[in-house]
Structure 1
Amino acid sequence: MERIPLSNSAFEGDNNAYLFSDGTETVLIDTGDWMATTREQLEAALAERDLAFADVDRIFLTHWHHDHCGLAGEIQAESGAEVYVHAADAPLVEGDEDAWNAMHDRQKRYFEEWGMPEDDQAALLERMVDGETTVETPTVTAFEDGETFAVADTELEVVHTSGHAAGLSMFRAEFDGQRQVFSGDALLPVYTPNVGGADVRVDRPLERYLRALQEIVDAGYDRAWPGHRDPIDDPADRARHIIDHHEERSWRVLDALDRLGPCDTWTVSADLFGDLEGIHILHGPGESYAHLEHLERAGTVVREGTEYRLADGVADELAASDEERWTLEY
């Protein structure tokens, strides 16, 4: 197995494609985005190994976001490669018009509920729609949690880790005498993947993501191969760090409501993240919504229309707790 770094303009840093070519077939996990520079980089990396797009037999996708699946259609067009993705993301990867229309309708509803200004809504939707129209989409084969696939001298096991995306999946494997996992965007070495905005189809996004992180802790992997940047040598420690990060963020959300009084998601986002541009216009309020929704179900926050306020007695508990942190349940 070899890691192929691919450039990406997104803040997460370089994407990774993972190549298996030491058996009787050529297999990729993720492909990078659809940009010309990314295609050139992937073609060059394959050429160094006497391979081309036409030699690729199978592609396994971690999820539907274009920086992970963007070249799958072009590769399939040249090679006839079979493309696999979780059933929840399959319609989006295939470019199903009804699935995308439902996504945009849901996004628009959330944008209104969050209190996103109309100009920001228009710019964001235009950016996302423009990206979709440039992608050559593949025909896909859907998989489910727990399915296994023989690849080279190892076996990939699907581990569904919804939160960042409805179909986000990791691939568990054992090689080099170690328990390893291709973690996609479920576990990243520098940034924490967005929850709430990155895929508005996900119900209870923060709860689901926290559960996935705890499962990573419990699994005891020796190494994680993420969708962006360098390998992670202590996946459990990184997962615990992200859990702590979300506990800290929930504390900050409660503090914002304590200081600002009843307010909408957009106002909480501005307090947490300041002014936002580009795709962050989606990620900031999405992340804030994920925490507000989680705290609402925990009973510490009450929603009234599009605004949220602290539940009765919570302000006193916050004042009494000083620097203590409340543990998030999931």
Structure 2
Amino acid sequence: MTDPKLGFELGVVSLGGSAFEGENSVYLLGLEQGATTTLVDTGVGADPTRRDLRAGLDRYGVSFGEIDRILLTHYHGDHSGLAGEIQAESGCPVFVHEADAPLVGGDPSALSDQSERLRRYIDVWGMPEDRQDELLSFLDASDVTGSRPDVTPFTAGKTFEVGNIDLEAVHMPGHTVGLTGYAFDGVDGEEVFSGDALLPYYTPNVGGADVRVEGALEAYLDTLSGIIERGFTRAWPGHRGPIVDPAGRAADIVHHHRERTERVLDVLASGPATPWEVSAELFGSLSSIHILHGPGEAFAHLEHLEAAGIVSRDGRTFERVDPDPDLDPLFPDVSGAV
């Protein structure tokens, strides 16, 4: 697509049939003569997605073998799954934030640590053993990683030149430890490829999406504050279409999490509960990936409240200790963003 607000040609490929947050959006840059052909994310390592991506790139006259560089927003398979296959055809480097790089590259120690953390947390959350078995079986059966690429790690602030624009790596943790957006100057102001840090319809999961994130809700609230402060004029998310008011969308998600925190406190008003029991009150019956995401997000909220001294924890169980808490200090003031 050629968008007068961008000042350059941007290829947008929508990949249908993806789970979780809906169809993936992959972005192709460097279509100008002599520019570095750059792909932001790749979609899952599955046959239907592979066909969709090949067909989508073909509309811009580009094949897997002609990709010069891949920039990944984070390690999840629905964003990184085809990176290894594209690299095998083109020899292109695959860049990803240093915190997520070991998982994308398949480092045995990192994968083992993540698996151990997952098993430990789903027990800490109070998940019944039969649901643990169901979740682990689902995760094994739904692996969409594909072949592992050789990865090139980077840190926040790195810039990537693409034709007449520079992409700046902006660290946006919360959904994963290393989630990174890529900011650039459009005609009407700064824009960003936001990955799953900012989505147009769903609120990105925190707590379950990456069990490595310490203080997941606090980390994500800081990311949302950063998006607002940066004043992006448009965001290009990892799923579905562009977000025309990133600050307003970020503020909406902050409000959403404050309301969810209030609901968590309402649940605890009836007595102590585990994260699994809290998630059942918040989300009802859970299946597939939501067996992980539900209690993970409940735990992220409980952990945030515990850090503020509003709830206390005894093993797997959380108890409300402040009957009339002030939640204002727990959430950024986003009144100026809406």
CA distance in 1 between counterparts of 2:60 and 2:315 reads: 58
Measure the CA separation in 2 of the matches of 1:23 and 1:190. 36
In the other structure, the counterpart of 1:276 is 286
The residue aligned with 2:54 is: 43
Residue 211 of structure 1, CA deviation: 0.4
The answer to whether 1:120 aligns with 2:131 is yes
Q: Within 1, Cα distance between the matches of 2:145 and 2:111?
A: 14
Tell whether the 8 Å contact from 1:8 to 1:67 is kept in structure 2 after alignment: no
SS of equivalent to 1:3: strand
C-alpha contact (below 8 Å) 2:44/2:144 kept by paired residues: no
Distance of aligned partners of 1:8 and 1:160 in 2 relative to their CA distance in 1, 3 Å threshold: farther
**Aligned ranges for residues 221-240 of structure 1 at < 5 Å?**
221-240=232-251
Report the Cα offset of residue 126 of structure 1. Answer: 2.4
Q: Which residue of structure 2 aligns with residue 19 of structure 1?
A: 28
- Secondary structure at the residue paired with 2:269? helix
**What does residue 266 of structure 1 align with?**
276
- For residue 5 of structure 1, the aligned residue among 14, 17, 39 is 14
TM-score after normalising by structure 1:
0.94
Out of 151, 158, 162, the position equivalent to 1:151 is 162
- The aligned amino acid for 1:203 is E
Which secondary structure does the structure 2 equivalent of 1:115 belong to?
Answer: coil
- Indicate the larger mover: 125-134 or 51-60: 125-134
* Residue identity in the other structure for 2:21: E
User: How far apart are the structure 2 equivalents of 1:18 and 1:90?
Assistant: 20
The reply on whether 1:54 has 2:88 as its aligned counterpart is no
Amino acid at match of 1:164: H
> TM-score with structure 2 length normalisation?
0.92
- Secondary structure of the 2:248 match is helix
Partner of 1:199: 210
Q: CA RMSD in A?
A: 1.5
Q: Deviations over 1:14-47 (max 9, x none)?
A: 1010001224231100011111111111101111
Picking from 293, 302, 305, the partner of 1:292 is 302
Deviation at 1:120, TM superposition (A): 1.4
Contact kept in structure 1, 2:265 and 2:320, CA below 8 Å: yes
- 2:201 corresponds to 1:190: yes
- Cα deviations by residue, 1:71-130 (Å, 9 ceiling, x for unpaired): 100100100011000000111001112111110100111011111111211222222234
CA–CA separation in structure 2 for the residues paired with 1:156 and 1:146: 9
Name 1:92's counterpart in structure 2: 103
Corresponding letter in the other structure for 2:330 = L
C-alpha displacement of 1:177:
4.1
Give me the whole-angstrom Cα distance separating, in 2, the residues matched to 1:169 and 1:135.
21
Structure 2 CA distance, aligned partners of 1:224 and 1:242? 15
The percentage of aligned residue pairs carrying the same residue is 51
Equivalent residue runs for 1:204-219 within 5 Å: 204-219=215-230
**Aligned residue in 2 for 1:139:** 150
Distance in structure 1 (CA, Å) of the matches to 2:144 and 2:203: 28
1:305 aligns with 2:315: yes
1:328 match: 330
Matched AA of 1:285: P
Letter in structure 1 aligned against 2:246: P
1:133–1:215 distance in 2 versus 1, CA, 3 Å: closer
**Is the CA contact 1:34–1:66 (under 8 Å) kept in the aligned structure 2?**
yes
> 2:46, 2:144 within 8 Å by CA — same for their partners in 1?
no
Q: Which runs of 5+ in 1 are unaligned?
A: none
2:11–2:60 Cα contact (<8 Å) kept? no
Task: State the number of aligned residues.
Answer: 321
Amino acid at match of 2:24: N
Moved more, 113-122 or 78-87: 113-122
How far, CA to CA, are the matches of 2:114 and 2:159 in structure 1? 29
Task: Report the Cα distance in structure 2 between the residues aligned to 1:130 and 1:84, rounded to whole angstroms.
Answer: 27
DSSP-derived class of the 1:202 partner: coil
SS in 2 for 1:136: coil
